[in-house]
Amino acid sequence: MGTIVKVDEKKLFFDRLSNLQKIAAVKEPRHIEKVLEHKDKISAVFLMTGTIMSVKGYVDLFRKEGLPVFIHIEKISGLSINNEGIDFIANYVKPIGIVTTKPGLILKAKKHKLMVVQRVFMIDSEVYKQLLDSMDQSRADILEIMPSRLPHIIRLVSENVKMPVITGGLLSEVSHVKEALESGALAVTTSNIDIWKADLFKQDVEYSTL
């Protein structure tokens, strides 16, 4: 059997996602320390680095610090992208879920009781059409739209799918984050450390008192 994501763990993740609205995309091990430094401003972690030898240690560290972790299953060196790989992640590494661009992996992960973030790159209008046509059958928990600098697409998708929508890619400043959120995204994913440590809501309060 796979790791069962407890109801309270899933609820904790969505509570953090709604409140903090920022997911740290960790692409290099040296940035792990920065995530921990700013953990109170981060909803969760998308782990996009590591090997089959190191990934469990990274996940254990984040979980110990109270941060939900999703593993981008296609970014872990040496990991087979098949049933055995999913089984390894679910039973040994034990994140809350995975991130994947491969729709065929979603059902496999769900059978192991893992949450799934489906990442979609909006390269043209055909991808958008195919996405809307396939969403009724998708078992993913969250849809991630890439890149984030497509506010009209984010708005259309968030209005036409039933699952939560997040977005990432090309976020270089806080104003980009706010634009994405105002367009309907529940949260953003980013590897930008300056955005990790930014207090979006405090800045809004400060501006409103000027």
Domain containing residue 43: CATH number: 3.20.20.70
C-beta of residue 37 within 8 angstroms of C-beta of residue 194: no
Is 104 domain-assigned?
yes
pLDDT tops 80 at residue 51: yes
- Number of domains, the chain: 1
What confidence category does residue 205 fall into, taking pLDDT thresholds of 50, 70 and 90?
Answer: very low
- What whole-number distance in Å separates Cα of residue 150 and Cα of residue 107? 28
- What whole-number distance in Å separates Cα of residue 34 and Cα of residue 152? 32
Domain extent at residue 97? 7-205
Is 172 domain-assigned?
yes
Once rounded to an integer, what is the mean pLDDT over residues 69-78?
96
pLDDT at 6: 56
C-beta of residue 52 within 8 angstroms of C-beta of residue 92: no
Is 148 domain-assigned?
yes
Is 2 domain-assigned?
no
What confidence category does residue 206 fall into, taking pLDDT thresholds of 50, 70 and 90?
Answer: very low
Is 1 domain-assigned?
no
pTM of the model: 0.89
pLDDT at 125: 86
Is 101 domain-assigned?
yes
User: What are the start-end ranges of the H helices in the chain?
Assistant: 7-20, 32-37, 55-64, 83-88, 104-111, 125-134, 151-160, 174-182, 193-196, 200-208
pLDDT tops 50 at residue 106: yes
pLDDT tops 90 at residue 203: no
Is 74 domain-assigned?
yes
- What whole-number distance in Å separates Cα of residue 163 and Cα of residue 135? 9
pLDDT digits (tens, 9 = 90+) for 166-197: 999 988 899 999 999 999 999 999 999 999 99
Sign of the CA dihedral running 81, 137, 25, 128:
positive
Residue 183: half-sphere exposure toward Cβ, Cα within 13 Å: 23
Is 210 domain-assigned?
no
pLDDT at 41: 95
